[in-house]
Amino acid sequence: MTAEVRIVGQGLAGSLLGWACECSGISFTIEDPFVCRAAVTPRFVPASSVGAGIINPITGQRLVKSWRIDTLLPQAVAMYESLERALGQRFLYRYRLQRFFADERERNVAREKWARGDFSDFGRSLDENSLSIEPAYRVDLENLVRALRTRWQTSGQWRESASVQGDPGLSTSDALTVRCLGAGELTESEFRWASLVPAKGELLEIETEPPALDPSLIRNCHEWLVPLSESRALIGATFEPGNSSSQPTEEARTALTCAATQLLGSNAFRIVSHRAGVRVVAPDKHPVIGRHPERLSVGIFNALGSKGALLAPWLADQWVAHLKSGQPIDREIDVARFWK
């Protein structure tokens, strides 16, 4: 069974779902209400339009491997590389990541896990101040989304929409609308019962004067510094669960400036831009995809949180396997887990 698919929303989720459909021969159209100026409000700035696209194998204060990283990372790299070949542009950048310890507790956690071999796949070295992790990646989300939009505009598969709602149905019996709306899904949605919540994030783009960055090294100590060149970098990101505003704040600017000062040491820098966006998080912190349990012509692709660059390729492939062969969605990510 191969369904015709209407994708609503072209952030990272909608883009990779469209690409997976294209590669699998599934007929689809894609539309994005956020490109239409009348539909854009500060409340609905998509996370992928401001996100850094970092893929970090070992995360958090407890220094744990990212969920399903051993399976998801090779799949993500393969999809981004296929996009680079098809579109003739570079989107995926490989780094080494230096994870600095914020306190003695983190240092002890790292020592214990290093001794047990917990970091064997990704840990490269450990010293008194930091853990060296490799590989880590950055995905250029903004250029990736833009390149796919241009491709589908040319092919006639992309169109604007002035509404985040729209007609949930299509003309054929096997048709499916998949809502890839990010924060636009938080109000007036068929999926209100999934209890998705916003999480605001802010970041800075900075420039060092003179150039002082190692372009191959991400520095992380709760906040991260990811270089774009020898002189430009992104600093981020704040995380505010429950906050759905996309307006940058002075409080976050001050906090991120302090983080940049700490991560850069004595190197002088200036702020080039200050951006904010809204992620979406599910109650159990896992992503959310699948069909509505009662309205089978409507589906969702959302709640990527701060790990969208890692998760989205696998989630798109989950959707395609479901569409082509009826394969059930993985139970840990199926939206039906929240249905009462």
Q: How far apart are the C-alpha atoms of 254 and 290, rounded to whole Å? A: 40
Residues 224 and 262 both lie in one domain: yes
**Would you tell me how many other CB atoms lie within 10 Å of the CB of residue 150?**
12
Classify the phi-psi angles of 251: left when phi > 0, otherwise alpha if psi is within -120 to 50, otherwise beta.
alpha
Query: Looking at residues 328-337, what average pLDDT do you find?
Result: 97
Domain that holds residue 71: 54-139
In single-letter form, the type of residue at position 178 comes to: V
Inside any domain, residue 327: yes
Please tell me whether residues 187 and 289 are part of one structural domain. Answer: yes
Mean pLDDT, the chain, whole residue set: 91
Q: 117 and 64, same structural domain?
A: yes
Residue 152, classed as helix, strand or coil, is helix
- Indicate if the pLDDT at residue 161 is higher than 50: yes
- pLDDT category at 120 given cuts 50, 70, 90 is confident
Q: Is the pLDDT of residue 129 over 70?
A: yes
Residue 317 lies inside a defined structural domain of this protein: yes
Residues 150 and 30 in one domain: yes
187 and 296: one domain?
A: yes
Cis peptide before 210 (omega within 30 of 0): yes
Looking at residue 48, its pLDDT comes to 78
Residues 6+ apart with CB under 8 A from 320: 20, 21, 24, 26
Q: DSSP string of 276-318? A: EEEEEE-TTSS-EEEE-SS-TTEEEEE--TT-HHHHHHHHHHH
Torsion over CA: 316, 317, 319, 324 (sign): positive
Same domain, residue pair 202 and 307? no
- Domain end (from 281, 301, 330): 281
Q: What is the pLDDT of residues 265-292, one digit of tens each?
A: 888 999 999 999 999 999 999 999 999 9
- For 32-56, the DSSP string reads ETTTSGGG--GGG-BGGGT---EE-
Mean pLDDT of 292-321: 97
Query: Which of left, alpha, beta for 53 (phi over 0: left; psi -120 to 50: alpha)?
Result: left
Residues 99 and 222 in one domain: no
Task: Report strand pairing: 217-221 vs 92-100.
Answer: parallel
| One domain, residues 75 and 182 | no
- Residue 271 belongs to what H/E stretch? strand 269-281
Note whether 295 and 158 are same-domain residues.
yes
- What pLDDT shows up at residue 1? 43
CATH number of the domain encompassing residue 168: 3.50.50.60
- Answer yes or no: is 309 within a domain: yes
- Spell out the SS3 assignment of 203-252: EEEEEECCCCCCCCEEEEECEEEEECCCCEEEEECCCEECCCCCCCCHHH
**Domain's final residue, options 281, 306, 324:** 281
Please identify, among 266, 281, 296, the residue that sits at the C-terminal boundary of a domain: 281
Same domain, 134 and 150: no
Total count of domains within the chain: 3
User: Cα–Cα distance between 29 and 36 in angstroms, integer?
Assistant: 17
Distance of CA 132 to the CA centre of its chain: 23
Q: Is residue 49 included in any domain, yes or no?
A: no
Q: Are both 145 and 22 inside the same structural domain?
A: yes
Residues 76 and 152 in one domain: no
In a domain, 48, yes or no: no
Residue 47 in any domain: the answer is no
Asked if residue 200 lies in contact with residue 247, where contact means CB atoms within 8 angstroms, the answer is no
Q: What is the pLDDT of residues 83-114, one digit of tens each?
A: 999 999 999 999 999 999 999 999 999 999 99
Band of the pLDDT at 143, cuts 50, 70, 90? very high
Q: CATH number for the domain including 245?
A: 3.30.9.10
